[in-house]
Amino acid sequence: MESGIDKLLDHPYASSLVFVSVTVLSLIVFLSLFELVAKYKCWSEIKRGNMAVAMATGGKIFGICNIFRFSIEANDTIYQSLIWGAYGFVILLVAYFIFEFLTPVFRIDEEIARDNRAVGLIAMVISVSLSYVIGATVIIG
């Protein structure tokens, strides 16, 4: 017996709306998790005009959405897409910690909080770049 959501997903417009809604909700949850692990408050810093935080956060937003793009494209159901999207986010979060760990010369979060735009740009590029690699693994998964 098909669930109501499965029946809804048979219609292309409704399916599109469901996938976008799930992605936006996931984006909010995952950005909140990033906010918990960062040593700065993203939205407060962006409101102050901190471009480094804006670039790093923009990279995270792009990265998360790009991973979901791949997971939606590669999977048949919203459930599979959500699972693979969440898995991809976990990998992106682990990569964030590795990036912080592999730069012992300075603390990434502290530099971004100080509006070091060079570090913010690198953080953005890393998030965007890794999202493509992670997305490729979602397709073969």
Residues in the chain with pLDDT < 70? 1-6, 140-141
pLDDT given at position 62: 97
CA atoms within 13 A on the CB side of 23: 21
114-133 per-position pLDDT tens digit: 999 999 999 999 999 999 99
C-alpha distances out from residue 103 to 16, 26, 42, 110, 122, Å: 41, 29, 21, 12, 12
Domain boundaries of the chain, sorted by first residue: 4-140
pLDDT given at position 2: 56
pLDDT given at position 1: 42
Contact by Cβ (8 Å): 37, 96:
yes
pLDDT given at position 12: 84
Helices then strands, counting H and E runs in the chain, come out as: 7, 0
pTM comes to: 0.88
